[in-house]
Chains A and B, each alone.
Chain A
Amino acid sequence: RKEVEQDPGPFNVPEGATVAFNCTYSNSASQSFFWYRQDCRKEPKLLMSVYSSGNEDGRFTAQLNRASQYISLLIRDSKLSDSATYLCAVTPGNTGKLIFGQGTTLQVKP
Chain B
Amino acid sequence: EPEVTQTPSHQVTQMGQEVILRCVPISNHLYFYWYRQILGQKVEFLVSFYNNEISEKSEIFDDQFSVERPDGSNFTLKIRSTKLEDSAMYFCASSAQRGNNEQFFGPGTRLTVL
Binding site for B on A (CB under 8 A): 31-32, 34, 38, 41-46, 49, 87, 89, 91, 94-103
Contacts and interface: CB of A to CB of B under 8 A. Distances in A.
Interface range, B side? 20 to 34
18 contacts: A31-B100, A32-B100, A32-B101, A43-B107, A43-B108, A44-B91, A46-B102, A46-B105, A87-B43, A95-B48, A96-B50, A97-B58, A98-B43, A98-B103, A100-B44, A101-B42, A102-B41, A103-B42
A66 B104 CA distance: 25
B42 A100 contact: yes
Nearest to B35: A98
B105 A44 contact: yes
A69 to B, nearest CB: 18
A35 B58 CA distance: 22
A98 B102 CA distance: 10
A45 B99 CA distance: 19
Nearest to B58: A97
A49 B103 contact: no
Given A34-B102, A96-B101, A100-B43, A42 B107 contact: yes
Given A46-B102, A46-B103, 19 more contacts: A31-B99, A31-B100, A32-B100, A32-B101, A38-B43, A41-B89, A44-B43, A44-B91, A45-B105, A89-B43, A95-B48, A95-B98, A96-B56, A96-B98, A96-B99, A97-B58, A98-B35, A98-B45, A103-B42
